[in-house]
Amino acid sequence: MTKNTRKEAPALPLNTIMSGDCIEAMNSLPEESVDLIFADPPYNLQLRGDLHRPDNSKVDAVDDDWDQFDSFKRYDDFTREWLKAARRILKPNGAIWVIGSYHNVFRLGAELQNQGYWLLNDVVWRKSNPMPNFRGKRFTNAHETLIWASKGEGAKYTFNYDALKALNEGVQMRSDWVLPICNGGERLKDDDGEKAHPTQKPQSLLHRLLVATTNPGDVVLDPFFGTGTTGAVAKMLGRDFIGIEREEKYRKVAEKRIKAIRKFDTEALTVTASKRAEPRVPFGQLVERGMLRPGEQLMSMNGRHKAKVRADGTLIGNDIKGSIHQVGAHLEGAPSCNGWTYWTYQREGKNVPIDLLRQQIRAEMN
Ligand SMILES: C[S@@+](CC[C@H](N)C(=O)[O-])C[C@H]1O[C@@H](n2cnc3c(N)ncnc32)[C@H](O)[C@@H]1O
């Protein structure tokens, strides 16, 4: 008997916060196991001295140990290592979001490209209520940049285009997002009533990007978990999360926060399906299945043009042969045409859009 020597892949620590360094933690996870990574890494702010408001009160800036690097080289080395670890655990069709300010985002973008990630968009998060520039020596720093990248060119990443359009009242979602910074009741406080974390991100930002680029049940990993904003929103939206955070005080805050979160009702989590995500039905299938017969005449929706169905699922009309789209475009003198919504067939004296037949086939597939 041959002995099975294959090692079992370690189980994913779903919906938990791993402690310690994110590079080691990611290296302990099975490869190609995560659908999406959201990373809000140290900014490497390089602050020189305290910053004060005009009334002399000290600005609560990011001057924590976790944000200190001796040099750009050190920061770049760190970036290279964590992005490499992230890449190993991403599924082939997974994607990554990184967020940063002008201090670090260009370094992050360059390293993403160096490693073969494929940049899909950069999104500007414009803060509707930014902190003023107290010294009055530069522009008010009113935005952060997010980079969205797939694992490589040609990867089939998730993008719920129609859901985002619905979220934006029927208008295509643009790459500039105006959202407030995290404050008010959402801002977590420690026992002394002080901010629990200097860079807690707003839930609205995570809501938008998780609805856009994941589906319920996906695994979302955040290697710089902080107060667990990613985990909190993932839980609400019915996604699984894995957090990694090296500071115990932040892990505690995040654990308490996430415990109190309730998942939204499952029905409410289903978002408008992207048309592109629906199964492809070749027109020829309608012919093969006898829904339309070779020789049958189709009429354009506007009643101006006719074409005949051929046995191979192409159309012939006015000396032009080709797909439902090509023939429609040619007859209309247009650069392109969606044949599914252009052509109709006759049943019981009525013109019926051929798209209804496609929908019938799709319904059988579900
Ligand atoms: C910019 S903050 C993230 C804030 C988070 N997005 C939120 O909404 O609360 C970066 C976090 O990464 C943690 N961190 C920094 N270096 C780390 C490392 N090598 N491994 C794990 N966590 C790290 C820091 O302790 C800090 O909480």
Task: Work out which ligand 1 atom sits closest to the CA atom of 227.
Answer: 9
Q: Is 247 in the pocket of ligand 1 (CB under 6 A)?
A: yes
- Residue 262 has φ and ψ, to the nearest 5°, of -110, 140
- The per-residue pLDDT for range 162-176, each reduced to its tens digit, is 999 888 888 899 999
What's the average model confidence in pLDDT over 198-205? 94
CA 152 to chain centre: 15
Q: Is 162 in the pocket of ligand 1 (CB under 6 A)?
A: no
Instruction: Give yes or no for a contact between 208 and 165, defined as CB atoms under 8 angstroms apart.
Output: no
Q: Lowest mean pLDDT of 26-30, 307-311, 359-363, name the range.
A: 359-363
- 272 or 126, which is more confident: 126
Residue to mutate, 17, 43, 188, 225, ligand 1, most ligand atoms under 8 Å from C-beta: 225
Half-sphere exposure of 232 (CA within 13 A, CB side): 23
pLDDT score, position 280 = 84
Sorting pLDDT into bands at 50, 70 and 90, what band is 16?
very high
- 343 or 275, which is more confident: 343
Let me know if 23 is exposed, middle or buried by CB neighbors in 10 A (0-12, 13-18, 19+). Answer: middle
CA of 41 to the centre of ligand 1 (A): 6
Amino acid occupying residue 116: G
pLDDT score, position 131 = 85
Per the structure block, which two tokens stand in for 139? 């522009």
What's the average model confidence in pLDDT over 212-235? 97
- The per-residue pLDDT for range 230-258, each reduced to its tens digit, is 999 999 999 999 999 999 999 999 999 99
Dihedral angle over CA of 212, 226, 17, 188, nearest 10: -90
Q: Which helix (H) or strand (E) holds 328?
A: helix 324-332
Q: Lowest mean pLDDT of 131-135, 214-218, 327-331, name the range.
A: 131-135
Per the structure block, which two tokens stand in for 225? 């978990």
pLDDT score, position 33 = 98
Distance CA 358, CA 142 (A): 48
Q: Is 40 in the pocket of ligand 1 (CB under 6 A)?
A: yes
- 242 or 361, which is more confident: 242
What mean pLDDT value characterizes the chain?
Answer: 90
Distance CA 55, CA 68 (A): 28
Q: Residue with structure tokens 């995570």?
A: 206
Distance CA 332, CA 355 (A): 19
CA of 252 to the centre of ligand 1 (A): 13
* Atom 2 of ligand 1, nearest CA residue: 226
Instruction: Give yes or no for a contact between 89 and 29, defined as CB atoms under 8 angstroms apart.
Output: yes
Strand 34-39 and strand 176-179: the pairing is unpaired
Sorting pLDDT into bands at 50, 70 and 90, what band is 62?
low
Q: Does 2 score more than 50 pLDDT?
A: no
Q: Does 323 score more than 50 pLDDT?
A: yes
Instruction: Give yes or no for a contact between 224 and 22, defined as CB atoms under 8 angstroms apart.
Output: yes
What's the average model confidence in pLDDT over 224-232? 98
Question: Running DSSP on this structure, what letter comes out for residue 129?
Answer: S
**DSSP secondary structure letters along 228-289:** THHHHHHHHTT-EEEEEES-HHHHHHHHHHHHT--PPPHHHHPPPPPGGGSPP--HHHHHHT
